[in-house]
A and B are shown apart, each in its own frame.
Chain A
Amino acid sequence: MADTIGSAELNAVKTPIFREVKKGEVRKHIITLTVRNELGVLARIATLIAGKGYNIEDLSVGETHEKGISRMTLEVIGDDVVIDQVVKQLRKLIDTIKVKDLTDTPHVERELALIKVHTATPRARDEVLRLVEIFRCRIVDVSPETYSVEITGTEDKVNAFIELVRPFGIKEMARTGKVAMKRESIPQEEE
């Protein structure tokens, strides 16, 4: 069935150039939110992200210097385009005051971990103490069998420490999830 309209131009028809749907890169995104500390605000945010089919890799929440205002840092792995959509949707929530994707902005990231390490032998105690020194962590609890170590730093630093003490045997461990903040100064060497 030929189209009679503009059939003269049929010969001059260009090959259709279909609109490309841009697929974003899949990577880790660090999102910070300032929110009103209302009932259910955490559930609201978690529901929204889960509703888009993403898992929150890690999350930390705490009150800020302003009363009733909390700050959250969360990490999500996902497609850039979809995460941009998630950020926009998060901004729409009535309880959110500010939402920022810090991924491509210079920022400081910190995480706290408490690690209880088996240190039953003198050799283990010496070695762990030395690692604590090198990593500039603190021992916050001691028993005849264990050291409990507090470590703060970037995810890489915390991971590196964990790998080094793992051979001694980790009895228990707790991590806070990251907190992050935009850098005001030019990017500098991690201290």
Chain B
Amino acid sequence: MLRKGADIVIQTLKEEGVEIVFGHPGGAIMEVYDALYRDGGIRHILARHEQGAGHMAEGYAKATGKVGVAMSTSGPGATNLVTAIADAYMDSVPVVFITGQVPTHLIGNDAFQEVDIVGITRPITKHNFLVKGIEELPLAIRQAFYIARTGRPGPVLVDIPKDITQKLSDVSIPSLEELKESLPGYRPHLEGNLQQIRKAVRLIMEAKRPVLYVGGGAVQAEAQKELVELAELMKIPVATTNMGKGAFPELHPLALHMLGMHGTYYANMAVYNCDLLIAVGARFDDRVTGKVEEFAPQAKIIHIDIDPASISKNIVVDVPIVGDVKIVLRKLLEEIKREGAKLYFPEERQKWLERIEGWKKKHPLTYRKSNTVIKPQYVIEQIYEATKGDAIISTGVGQHQMWSAMFYKYSFPRQFINSGGLGTMGFGFPAGIGAKLGRPDKEVFVIDGDGSFMMTMQELITAVQYKVPVKVAIINNGYLGMVRQWQELFYERRYSEVDLSIQPDFVKLAEACGAVGFRAEKPSEVREIIEEALKIQDRPVIMDFHVDREENVLPMVPAGKSYRDMILEDGKKAVEAETMYLVG
């Protein structure tokens, strides 16, 4: 049967199980939009800016585990997607980006709305294609989905010239077998080497002071059950990264919460003093390690990761295990049980847990409370309580993101959605819209900063149009808060260009767009408006919380410094070197 290229695109998307596409039309992608209209089987969300469409697709993918799809036209449409593509690349989010391209005969001629998007996105995609003929079209799209979701997930871009979407062809959609044959060099390794797994088991049983360091890979693999079993069976405390939040339930007694730059005192102390660090789907990012020479200085390191290139990239490890986190953990648990799940130093292990308890008691996550001014942390605690810890939280980037990581407790994977690797301001709101569309059964709160929100706030109208009841809590301090904090701490309070106190009236903005707006200026109003917001289910809500302007995110390890240089929440004093001693 002869079909237009554009119809092949839509058919292939449906074969891949795509239910929703985020995008913005334009000249070069018009045929695909026409096919979308005629077919009627896929829901399309019209973002008001392609960056918004990209982040929505990411939020959808992060919240559901499915592949997100974002679509745009050529040229400026495609370049507007670039930030979202880079963001998805850094956080290993499976998203297929489809861009229109100028007709084949004009490529390279500086045609209207032409840009070499395949060239531009080469370093920020897992793979990308320019479709050169209609025969390649269905295979390219199938390959894109396959590559995006298997192995270490990531963004894949398919650039389709306009004439190819217009041509007729009877090319069929390739099977999975044909698809795999077409990619001879692509074989993600899932199983994990048994020899290495046995070495790891031995180290885990022999360790006196082990710590699990869990990252986004464990969320992707949905390995929560295995992690809890391993932690409980071998009595190992668990620190999670920003991306790993929810991979291990945070109310669990073995939870150390976040480690690294804005990690808890006890997580950082545990990592600093451990003799075995088990990294699971984490990549030793510099926001985690600080000064690498002084990161877990006494520890042997086991690293489980699906990406062989992640291993020994920043830190040379002792036992590398390449494979899917869930599969490897299962095998590891099997081996542990086969060995009788014994601990070589049970007393030492007990002492280790007690010492960690002590650290938790000494410096829990806390902040100075106030009756007169709203503390940002308080807002997040109130959201946590009002939603009974069950909401999906999406954030922008900055102080509010870190407070959201610290003061909301996450218990299931895919619950905390934020831009970890690229640190994209403006990510949270569109990602929250995507998350809510993917998980309509959950409350979705966007905890955003005033600076972050203003970067993509035009998507408010998108949320109104599609009746997406996301709750946006703006932690409004009238500053680019994180930059201000650094300026306060490291630049002698020279607040260069961070004042955002001239800003729109967010309540009126909400109303202008047909959403609901609330404002809180006193602590007593906080819970009230959250409860009000929770009642609204047919449109988005903006809650504008005017918070303490100069509140800081603490604890903090200054960039590139050791955990020994951690600044604590009380009195903002750096920890003296001799207090961060090594035990054992």
Q: Which A residues are closer than 8 A to B by beta carbons?
A: 1-6, 9-10, 13-14, 16-22, 35-36, 39-40, 43-44, 47-48, 51, 81, 84-85, 88-89, 91-98
A22 near B308 (CB under 8 angstroms)? no
| A48 CB contacts on chain B under 8 angstroms | 123
Determine the distance from Cα of A96 to Cα of B183 in the docked complex, in whole angstroms. 9
Determine the distance from Cα of A8 to Cα of B462 in the docked complex, in whole angstroms. 61
| B186 CB contacts on chain A under 8 angstroms | 94
B183 near A19 (CB under 8 angstroms)? no
| Complex interface residues of chain B between 509 and 526 (CB less than 8 A to chain A) | none
Q: Is B313 an interface residue (CB 8 A)?
A: yes
| B358 CB contacts on chain A under 8 angstroms | 4-6
Of A39, A88, A94, the residue contacting B183 (CB under 8 A) is: A94
| Complex interface residues of chain B between 257 and 302 (CB less than 8 A to chain A) | 292-298
Q: Which B residues are closer than 8 A to A by beta carbons?
A: 118-119, 122-123, 126-127, 130, 132, 147, 183-186, 292-298, 307-309, 312-313, 315-316, 355, 358-359, 362, 573, 575-576, 578-584
Determine the distance from Cα of A181 to Cα of B439 in the docked complex, in whole angstroms. 54
B296 near A19 (CB under 8 angstroms)? yes
Known A19-B293, A94-B186; judge A47-B123 contact (CB<8 A): yes
In the complex, residue of chain B having the shortest beta-carbon distance to the beta carbon of A96: B185
| B296 CB contacts on chain A under 8 angstroms | 19
A44 near B122 (CB under 8 angstroms)? yes
A63 to chain B, nearest CB (A): 15
Known A43-B119, A94-B127; judge A1-B293 contact (CB<8 A): no
A40 to chain B, nearest CB (A): 6
Known A14-B582, A19-B296, A19-B315; judge A92-B307 contact (CB<8 A): yes
Of A2, A16, A81, A98, the residue contacting B294 (CB under 8 A) is: A16
Nearest first, the 7 closest Cβ-Cβ pairs linking A and B are A88-B309, A97-B185, A5-B358, A3-B579, A94-B127, A13-B581, A18-B297
Determine the distance from Cα of A35 to Cα of B362 in the docked complex, in whole angstroms. 57
Determine the distance from Cα of A9 to Cα of B573 in the docked complex, in whole angstroms. 24
A35 to chain B, nearest CB (A): 8
Determine the distance from Cα of A22 to Cα of B343 in the docked complex, in whole angstroms. 32
| A51 CB contacts on chain B under 8 angstroms | 123
B269 to chain A, nearest CB (A): 9
Known A19-B297, A94-B185, A97-B184; judge A4-B573 contact (CB<8 A): no
| B575 CB contacts on chain A under 8 angstroms | 1
**Which of A16, A21, A48 has most B Cβ within 10 Å?**
A16
B566 to chain A, nearest CB (A): 12
A19 near B313 (CB under 8 angstroms)? no
In the complex, residue of chain B having the shortest beta-carbon distance to the beta carbon of A20: B293
| B147 CB contacts on chain A under 8 angstroms | 94
| A18 CB contacts on chain B under 8 angstroms | 293-294, 297
Interface contact tally, CB-CB below 8 A: 92
Determine the distance from Cα of A18 to Cα of B580 in the docked complex, in whole angstroms. 13
B295 near A19 (CB under 8 angstroms)? yes
A134 to chain B, nearest CB (A): 44
Determine the distance from Cα of A4 to Cα of B264 in the docked complex, in whole angstroms. 18
| B127 CB contacts on chain A under 8 angstroms | 93-94
A52 to chain B, nearest CB (A): 10
B185 near A95 (CB under 8 angstroms)? yes
A59 to chain B, nearest CB (A): 17
B314 to chain A, nearest CB (A): 9
Q: What are 24 pairs between A and B in contact, CB < 8 Å?
A: A2-B579, A3-B581, A5-B355, A5-B359, A6-B355, A9-B583, A13-B582, A16-B582, A18-B297, A19-B297, A19-B315, A21-B293, A21-B315, A22-B316, A39-B132, A43-B119, A43-B122, A44-B122, A47-B123, A85-B313, A92-B308, A94-B126, A94-B183, A96-B185
B360 to chain A, nearest CB (A): 10
| A44 CB contacts on chain B under 8 angstroms | 122
| B583 CB contacts on chain A under 8 angstroms | 6, 9, 13
B298 near A17 (CB under 8 angstroms)? yes
B582 near A92 (CB under 8 angstroms)? no
B579 near A91 (CB under 8 angstroms)? no
> Known contacts A4-B358, A19-B296, A19-B315; can you find 4 more A-B pairs with CB under 8 A?
A1-B579, A16-B298, A17-B297, A81-B316
| B122 CB contacts on chain A under 8 angstroms | 40, 43-44, 47
| A96 CB contacts on chain B under 8 angstroms | 185
In the complex, residue of chain A having the shortest beta-carbon distance to the beta carbon of B289: A19
Determine the distance from Cα of A88 to Cα of B119 in the docked complex, in whole angstroms. 22
| B578 CB contacts on chain A under 8 angstroms | 2, 10
Determine the distance from Cα of A51 to Cα of B358 in the docked complex, in whole angstroms. 45
Determine the distance from Cα of A1 to Cα of B575 in the docked complex, in whole angstroms. 8
In the complex, residue of chain B having the shortest beta-carbon distance to the beta carbon of A38: B129
Determine the distance from Cα of A94 to Cα of B182 in the docked complex, in whole angstroms. 11
Known A6-B355, A43-B122; judge A91-B576 contact (CB<8 A): no
| B579 CB contacts on chain A under 8 angstroms | 1-3
In the complex, residue of chain B having the shortest beta-carbon distance to the beta carbon of A82: B313
Determine the distance from Cα of A47 to Cα of B121 in the docked complex, in whole angstroms. 11
Determine the distance from Cα of A87 to Cα of B296 in the docked complex, in whole angstroms. 27
Known A3-B581, A10-B581, A91-B308; judge A16-B185 contact (CB<8 A): no
Known A21-B292, A21-B293; judge A1-B316 contact (CB<8 A): no
Determine the distance from Cα of A51 to Cα of B124 in the docked complex, in whole angstroms. 11
Determine the distance from Cα of A19 to Cα of B580 in the docked complex, in whole angstroms. 16
Determine the distance from Cα of A133 to Cα of B446 in the docked complex, in whole angstroms. 78
Of A1, A2, A84, A91, the residue contacting B573 (CB under 8 A) is: A1
Determine the distance from Cα of A92 to Cα of B305 in the docked complex, in whole angstroms. 14
A36 near B185 (CB under 8 angstroms)? yes
| B119 CB contacts on chain A under 8 angstroms | 40, 43
| A89 CB contacts on chain B under 8 angstroms | 309
Of B130, B294, B581, the residue contacting A19 (CB under 8 A) is: B294
| B584 CB contacts on chain A under 8 angstroms | 14
B78 to chain A, nearest CB (A): 16
A16 near B297 (CB under 8 angstroms)? yes
B277 to chain A, nearest CB (A): 10
Determine the distance from Cα of A60 to Cα of B450 in the docked complex, in whole angstroms. 53
Determine the distance from Cα of A3 to Cα of B362 in the docked complex, in whole angstroms. 9
B155 to chain A, nearest CB (A): 13
A39 to chain B, nearest CB (A): 6
B162 to chain A, nearest CB (A): 18
A71 to chain B, nearest CB (A): 13
Of A5, A9, A21, A40, the residue contacting B118 (CB under 8 A) is: A40
Determine the distance from Cα of A7 to Cα of B308 in the docked complex, in whole angstroms. 42
Determine the distance from Cα of A16 to Cα of B273 in the docked complex, in whole angstroms. 10
Determine the distance from Cα of A94 to Cα of B292 in the docked complex, in whole angstroms. 31
| A39 CB contacts on chain B under 8 angstroms | 130, 132
**Which of A3, A10, A96 has most B Cβ within 10 Å?**
A3
A83 to chain B, nearest CB (A): 13
| A92 CB contacts on chain B under 8 angstroms | 307-309
In the complex, residue of chain A having the shortest beta-carbon distance to the beta carbon of B272: A16
